[in-house]
Amino acid sequence: TIGEICRNRSIPLIEDAAHAHGSKLDDQFAGSFGDAGCFSFYPTKVMTTGEGGMLTTNNDEIAEKARILRDQGKE
């Protein structure tokens, strides 16, 4: 699988779940298969907020990096 390939090569798997809000495969939600899941809230997507997005992760390092990047790199 793509997950195994990424793990074997130490490549983070970032899942594009822009159109998959609430979707499941074998009782696992979209956005939770890789190291991070990305959701879009743009007006043409399934769920909208005008604009913006959401990142989901269980990885503390990715979460901290995302927090820094969301504010133009300010810590």
| pLDDT tens by residue, 20-37 | 878 898 998 888 889 999
Number of domains in the chain: 1
Domain interval for residue 10? 2-69
Task: Give the pLDDT confidence score for residue 30 in this predicted structure.
Answer: 85
Does residue 13 lie in a domain region? yes
Residue 11 has pLDDT above 90, yes or no: yes
43 backbone dihedrals φ, ψ, rounded to 5° = -55, -25
Q: Tokens representing 44?
A: 């043409």
Q: Is residue 75 domain-resident? A: no
Helix/strand/coil for 36: strand
User: For the chain, what is the mean pLDDT?
Assistant: 87
Give the residue among 51, 50, 23 at the shortest CA–CA distance from 37: 23
Residue 30 inside a domain? The answer is yes
CA distance linking residue 54 with residue 72, whole number of Å: 16
Nearest one of 1, 14, 19, 9 to 57, comparing CA atoms: 14
